[in-house]
Structures are given as C-alpha cells and as structure tokens.
Amino acid sequence: MRSKKLLAVAALLCAALATAGVAIAKAMKTGAVAATAASFDATTVANEVQKTCTVSGSSDTYQFTRATYTGLASSTDARLKGPITIRAISLVDTTTGAGGLVGAYRINGGPNVGAAGRISAAISGNQATGAIRGHVSGPGGQLFASLGSGFTGNGGFSNALVGSGSSNGAGVVLSQGACVHTIHLGAKVKLWLTLDF
C-alpha cells in the first residue's frame, strides 16, 4: 500500500516537473524586437579638457575636447528615462565644422532599471549624427539606436533624439528569446548573436 502511495506521489511530481518544464521552455522562447525612442539634453559640462592645434600646411584649427556631460533623458521606456551621463571625446575642425566624437553613456532609470553603452557620431555644423549601442536592464536587452543631436565641446548635447524619434532614424531593443539565444557585447563592443532559424 505504501509503495502504491509512493508511486502516486512520484507520478504527481513527474507531472508537475513536466508542466514546469513546458512553462520554462515557453518562457525561454519569449523575447522581442521592440521599437523604442528617447530624447535628452546633457548640457552640464564637467572635467573638461580642451586643446587646439594646427597642422603644418593647413590653415585649419582643430579643437580636441574631453568632458563629462550630464542632463536628463525622457522616454516612454523607463529604461531610457532619467539622469543621463555621457563621457565623450570629440575632435572638430573649427574652420569647416566637421569632426567626430566617441564616448560612453549611462541612463539611471531607477533601481535595476536603466541603460549603458557606447556612443559614436559624426559632427557637422554643431550637429552630431551617429549611433548608440548598449545594454538595457529592467528588463534586459540590447539597444541599437540612431542619434541626432546638437553638440559642441563646450556646451554638450542639446535637443538630442534617440531611436525612432529622430529624423530618418530607428531604435530597437533586442531581447533574448526564441530566435536569439545569446547576446553579448564584448570588451570592444563586438556583437555576438546565436540565431535559431
């Protein structure tokens, strides 16, 4: 009699585990590619280092700036909404207005919610056009987005638009799920995807 009870309990446990396994499998196959957008101003400038130089044989002057820019990001996506910090290096030909910038950004959306990654852009006439990539958390995913912003080394980022809010731009968050099993941005921001097609 006792053995029959044990067998019944074992059967129930197996059924429960099988159900849990199905639930876990379904959860593992969730995921999405979701459009996203944000806007921000980061015009408070700190830790600024600025130098200018000229090149032999050219009358142009080049301005190098390294600084930390802080401000506030707005978005319907909580992960892209909150205080933003950008540490950037830029180099601009002050005669033509052409240049470029690279840097790192962080958005603090709250406890365990936010975004962080890399930013790069071309500069022309005090306008920066480029891309933002990185990781979002709460829930997690990878951010790929266009960037359009006013920018000067001394003044920072103004009227910046990220993602689908920018002109001719797009922004998405790629979440791990059915088609993407692993997402990894390496030390050199290389993207590794394991696709299931």
Provide the 10 A C-beta neighbour count for residue 70: 18
Amino acid 59: pLDDT: 85
pTM for the model: 0.74
Identify which of 3-7, 55-59, 84-88, 182-186 has the greatest average pLDDT: 84-88
Q: How far is residue 99's CA from residue 97's CA, in Å, rounded to a whole number? A: 7
pLDDT at residue number 55: 76
Q: What angle do CA 154, 157, 158 make, to 5 degrees?
A: 115
Is the predicted pLDDT of residue 177 greater than 50, yes or no?
yes
How many whole angstroms separate alpha carbon 26 and alpha carbon 63?
54
Residue 138's SS3 state is coil
By three-state DSSP, how is residue 54 classified? strand
pLDDT grade for 14, boundaries at 50, 70 and 90: very low
CA pseudo-torsion sign 28, 33, 37, 43: positive
Beta 156-163 vs 171-174: how paired, if at all?
unpaired
Cα(146)–Cα(16) distance, integer angstroms = 46
Q: Please count the residues of the chain.
A: 197
Q: Which residues contact 98 (CB under 8 A, 6 or more apart)?
A: 92, 122, 123, 124
Query: Does the pLDDT at position 191 exceed 70?
Result: no
